[in-house]
Structure 1
Amino acid sequence: MSKDALELVAGVDIGLTGMKVVAFDLEGNIVASASAPSPQNLPKPYWIERDGHDYWDAFGGMCRELNAKIAELGGKVISIGISAHGDGAWLIDDQFNPTRPGILSLDSRAIDTAAKLMDEHKDDLMRVTGQGVVPASTGAVLKWIADNEPEAIEKASWFVAAKDFLRIWLTGEVGTDLTEASTAFCNVRTQDYDDEAFEIYGLDVLRDKAPQIDACTKVVGTVIDLASRHTGFPVGTPVVAGCHDVDAGAIGAGAVAPGHLAVMAGTWSINEVITDKPTVGDGWLARSFVEKGLWMNMSISPASSANLEWFINTLCAAEADAARREGRSPYAFVDEEVGQTKDSDQPAYFVPFLYGNPYGIDASAVFSGLRAWHTRGNILRAIYEGIAFTHKIHCDWLIDAIDVTEVRVVGGVSNSKIWPQYFADSLNKPILIPEVKEGGALGTAMLAAVGAGAFSDLTAAAAAMGSVSRQIDPTPAGVELMAARYEAFTQQVDLQKPWWAANK
């Protein structure tokens, strides 16, 4: 390798359905990338798991592809960072092998476990950990395993997060980071493990199985020989601790300082604001951000763009396939048809609860207000607006409690010429749309760049590697329209609650 080889940082972004690894230069430009499906197994209703060896195999093949491209370009990776979907749980033995398949954050087997924890221990959970429990929460999942598969706990030497499993196999070093550790067993104020948290969950047995907590930018090991052969990364390449993917996405979007609110419209409705003090409330999870003294307050639900994806794949497959064959986005026709609707049209409404909701109840999706003269464009507009309204529910909880200085929106919404305006008008705030691709991988690569010593801190890395943003301002007419429609939307939700309760 030439001494003048282009220095690159690799950001790995592991999603629930796909994974990617992207090599960036130190100005934030994409130099090479590779991707692969994220393997999943659904052995029973409500169960969504991942086999650790299949996971490692997919990761290795993807990384070899990336490194082949880098070799052709004469580049050199100086550091690696990994982010992944959080929550769920992985248990590994002293040989780093899983004692059972990893449980993913879309898994809901622990719904009764979570409900019982909240019924019996909500006040203590909020006081100590700064957050309640949902079915996919690490604490709820581990409690379910302890109650139903105690042998998996007994065989395990550590419990870790999805990205930590890869980090361990890359470096041979066990650990986690601040963002992942704070999902269950940390004190929200000290940002360290707290014995009382383990006691509240009834999981004292796990205290000695907790991995050490490292700063997200800390180099925690280097690529070992077997991992080098598997991934193509040279032996000795530094690996930083990395972070939860929602934190990486915020960083990639430019949200790195207190008061920055990142809105991510993906499979999940992710809405999170950084603070420099712990701020606890019922509507969000108060977790650690990437360094001590900073917190990421997350208000989330699986009620965002996946609803649009479902509609397109289920009811518009022919149009989507035709667009793909023509080399166009399969979603381009959505903007075209929504653009033909008028604000004066009698609206249709969509409650986007196909996969979950902000209220923690057993609810389903609903179309309402449909009339014979409505077109598909009106229905698609209802989906656009319904998803924007669900994000508003989360954002309002945060904005009412925390001083928000700017709002940044990323995800599927940013690809539309129409949809961002609905977000700005619904929130009645200017929103920034970063012109960035692969934001999660970029945020993780920034952590890797700091770890490699290329930048003094994350703020400097974001300034050098981040992208410019375009601003969407709310309009008086749009704010008035969205306020009226949001009120009707929330009325529809309230009317449905008794029906949902009676028809679980």
Structure 2
Amino acid sequence: MSGQELVLGVDIGLTGMKVVAFNLRGEPVHEARETSPQEIPHPHWVERDGREYWALFSRMMRAVTTKIDNAGDTAISLALSAHGDGGWLVDEEGDAVRPGILSLDSRAIDEAAALNASSFDDLLRETGQGVGPASPGVILRWLKDNEPENYAKARWFIYAKDFLRIKLTDSVGTDLTEASTAFTDVNTQEYTDEAFRLYGVEEYKDRVPPINDATEVIGTVTKLAHIATGLPEGLPVVAGLHDVDAGAIGAGAVRPGQLAVMAGTWSINEVISDKPKLGKEWFCRAFVEKGTWMNMSISPASSANLEWFATTLCQADLDGRTRAGMDPYGFIDEEIAQTSDDDDIVTFLPFLYGNPMNIDGQATFAGLRAWHKRGHLLRAVYEGIAFNHRIHCDPLIEAFGVTDIFVVGGVTRSSIWPQMFADAMGKPIRIPVKAEGGALGTAMVAAVGAGKFANLAEAYEAMGSETQVIEPTPEGTARMQHRFERFMEQIEAQKSWWESAKH
């Protein structure tokens, strides 16, 4: 069907980016994808070049606009979502002063540990959260101490999606979900001088972007952006939001008490609330609409571990299946299915990029024996990622009276993994039928911004997804409980090894 009005939801991840054009029933009509290359110039550093970022984004947008034009459809608005935390220094013209620092970056792990040790209670009371190595305030402090020339040169400290916003519209700003990652008062959801003082970056309080509502039209596509991307000049651009909030909306977690579990590069686990509730185990940040909060417990320890395993140890399988037109990751379920639930346990700690403890630990396989095959290792990776999510989810379930658990991400494309998640949680999980959760949630924001719906609840009613329920089984729950206990024992056993490795 041609001649449809479409809203564009852009979802920028740590390893890939996509744009999906949805109609106002939430049906994906056109899409395009690109990679999101990372640079690791030093151990612990994970960065992205701004010029390459914009070039790849522009190529992706040109691909989708060509499809829209050829079909005779019309784009009516666009919204952006992207991975959060980390940060970008940009100059007055909106150009990057240095490569953007991504949320997988851990160069500031010692600074984060020192800040938590000295000021955790103050940070929690003021901003609703402690800090991790890639927390924006920690990154900004690291830049001040280690790159003073860049720190002094920059006009703005912004986030990944807001770098693209500048390029598209020439407007500088962010939204509540991003602003609340470091520098806002947890109660008022406005910037607070005390947060800048706690991070030791008081001079930057005038260099953080103005805050817009996520559904607010903040500008239109400029002529230069039209030339680069093919997007129509004058197309309304909506402020957008942090991708974890977009993913929750797209998954169906739109009301207090609903838990969204996102198994992507990061382990994202978050519950909406209608009042701030502070806890050491989670970040209390602003949700899309002022007066609502998103309580999230996160770590860089989810499906990126599986991607590393596959690309490092199984590249021939990936290439062969790709050439055959098959799902390149399909062999994983097949090999795990050849193992038995009763086989000797192999335990995997999925800490290639970080962990929930905010200590400098490493990934670990434990319990390997000569008769184990690759399928046993892959099963351990699946289970380890599920267990890491459980570490985050248990405190949220207890504190917020969770009624529904929605799971999205790579786990949902497996025929085996969702059951492992349900058994590991010991609770039913809901998997949205529509796969493009982050892009869909962002498109709903774009639709509200375009005036097609009064609010996000109305947008979800029209565009949202049905869900498939996966029930835990008694035998699976008992088995996974035993393995979870072994998983936690292995973490404790490794802590002294991790500490000794520093010396």
Determine if the TM-score, normalized by the shorter chain, exceeds 0.5.
Answer: yes
Q: Which residue of 1 aligns with 2:34?
A: 36
Comparing 314-323 with 351-360, greater Cα deviation is found at 314-323
Contact 2:89 2:157 in 1 (8 A): yes
Residues in 1 aligned to 2:38 and 2:317: alpha-carbon distance in whole angstroms? 28
Contact 2:48 2:102 in 1 (8 A): yes
1:346 aligns with 2:348: no
Residues in 2 aligned to 1:349 and 1:207: alpha-carbon distance in whole angstroms? 46
1:366 aligns with 2:364: yes
- Residues 2-58 of structure 1 show CA distances to partners (whole Å, capped at 9, x for unaligned) of xx9310001111112221111111111111111222243333332222222222222
Q: Which residue of 2 aligns with 1:15?
A: 13
**Where do 1:463-474 residues align within 5 Å?**
463-474=461-472
Residues in 2 aligned to 1:51 and 1:477: alpha-carbon distance in whole angstroms? 49
Offset of residue 128 of structure 1: 0.2
SS of residue in 2 equivalent to 1:46: coil
SS of residue in 2 equivalent to 1:482: helix
% same residue: 61
Q: Which residue of 1 aligns with 2:320?
A: 322
**Where do 1:68-217 residues align within 5 Å?**
68-217=66-215
Q: Partner amino acid for 2:111?
A: T
Residues in 2 aligned to 1:391 and 1:145: alpha-carbon distance in whole angstroms? 31
Q: 1:396 aligns with which of 394, 397, 408?
A: 394
Offset of residue 413 of structure 1: 0.8
Q: Which residue of 1 aligns with 2:421?
A: 423
Residues in 2 aligned to 1:231 and 1:317: alpha-carbon distance in whole angstroms? 33
Q: Partner amino acid for 1:351?
A: L
Root-mean-square deviation (Å): 1.4
Offset of residue 96 of structure 1: 1.6
Offset of residue 133 of structure 1: 1.0
SS of residue in 1 equivalent to 2:261: strand
Q: Which residue of 2 aligns with 1:311?
A: 309
Comparing 325-334 with 254-263, greater Cα deviation is found at 325-334
Q: Which residue of 1 aligns with 2:331?
A: 333
Structure 1 unmatched ranges of 5 or more: none
Q: Partner amino acid for 2:500?
A: A
Q: 1:250 aligns with which of 248, 251, 254?
A: 248
SS of residue in 2 equivalent to 1:282: coil
Q: Which residue of 2 aligns with 1:494?
A: 492
Residues in 2 aligned to 1:326 and 1:5: alpha-carbon distance in whole angstroms? 36
Comparing 336-345 with 125-134, greater Cα deviation is found at 336-345
- Residues 186-232 of structure 1 show CA distances to partners (whole Å, capped at 9, x for unaligned) of 01111111111111111110111121111101111111111111111
Residues in 2 aligned to 1:63 and 1:312: alpha-carbon distance in whole angstroms? 29
Q: Which residue of 1 aligns with 2:269?
A: 271
SS of residue in 2 equivalent to 1:309: helix
Q: Which residue of 2 aligns with 1:298?
A: 296
Q: Which residue of 2 aligns with 1:385?
A: 383
Offset of residue 324 of structure 1: 1.5
Residues in 2 aligned to 1:102 and 1:382: alpha-carbon distance in whole angstroms? 33
Q: Partner amino acid for 2:160?
A: A
Residues in 1 aligned to 2:335 and 2:38: alpha-carbon distance in whole angstroms? 34
Residues in 2 aligned to 1:136 and 1:319: alpha-carbon distance in whole angstroms? 34
Contact 2:124 2:278 in 1 (8 A): yes
Residues in 1 aligned to 2:310 and 2:93: alpha-carbon distance in whole angstroms? 44
SS of residue in 1 equivalent to 2:30: strand
1:53 aligns with 2:51: yes
Q: Which residue of 1 aligns with 2:237?
A: 239
Q: 1:280 aligns with which of 264, 278, 281?
A: 278
Offset of residue 498 of structure 1: 1.0
SS of residue in 1 equivalent to 2:407: strand
**Structure 2 CA distance for partners of 1:347 and 1:49, relative to 1, 3 Å:** closer
SS of residue in 1 equivalent to 2:462: helix
Residues in 2 aligned to 1:211 and 1:322: alpha-carbon distance in whole angstroms? 47
Offset of residue 298 of structure 1: 1.2
SS of residue in 1 equivalent to 2:319: helix
Offset of residue 134 of structure 1: 0.9
Comparing 384-393 with 145-154, greater Cα deviation is found at 145-154
**Structure 2 CA distance for partners of 1:372 and 1:149, relative to 1, 3 Å:** closer
Residues in 2 aligned to 1:90 and 1:313: alpha-carbon distance in whole angstroms? 29
Contact 2:83 2:242 in 1 (8 A): yes
Residues in 1 aligned to 2:217 and 2:376: alpha-carbon distance in whole angstroms? 51
- What is the TM-score of this pair, normalised by structure 2? 0.97
Contact 2:113 2:358 in 1 (8 A): no
Comparing 154-163 with 447-456, greater Cα deviation is found at 154-163
SS of residue in 2 equivalent to 1:216: coil
- Residues 424-450 of structure 1 show CA distances to partners (whole Å, capped at 9, x for unaligned) of 111111000111222211111110000
Comparing 319-328 with 180-189, greater Cα deviation is found at 319-328
**Structure 2 CA distance for partners of 1:358 and 1:230, relative to 1, 3 Å:** same
SS of residue in 1 equivalent to 2:360: coil
Q: Partner amino acid for 2:90?
A: I
Residues in 2 aligned to 1:367 and 1:41: alpha-carbon distance in whole angstroms? 27
Residues in 1 aligned to 2:62 and 2:415: alpha-carbon distance in whole angstroms? 37
Q: Partner amino acid for 1:221?
A: G
Residues in 2 aligned to 1:224 and 1:111: alpha-carbon distance in whole angstroms? 39
Q: 1:410 aligns with which of 408, 411, 416?
A: 408
Offset of residue 321 of structure 1: 2.0
Residues in 2 aligned to 1:380 and 1:498: alpha-carbon distance in whole angstroms? 26
Offset of residue 325 of structure 1: 1.8
Offset of residue 341 of structure 1: 2.5
SS of residue in 2 equivalent to 1:445: helix
Residues in 2 aligned to 1:155 and 1:319: alpha-carbon distance in whole angstroms? 47
Offset of residue 345 of structure 1: 2.3
Residues in 2 aligned to 1:368 and 1:276: alpha-carbon distance in whole angstroms? 42
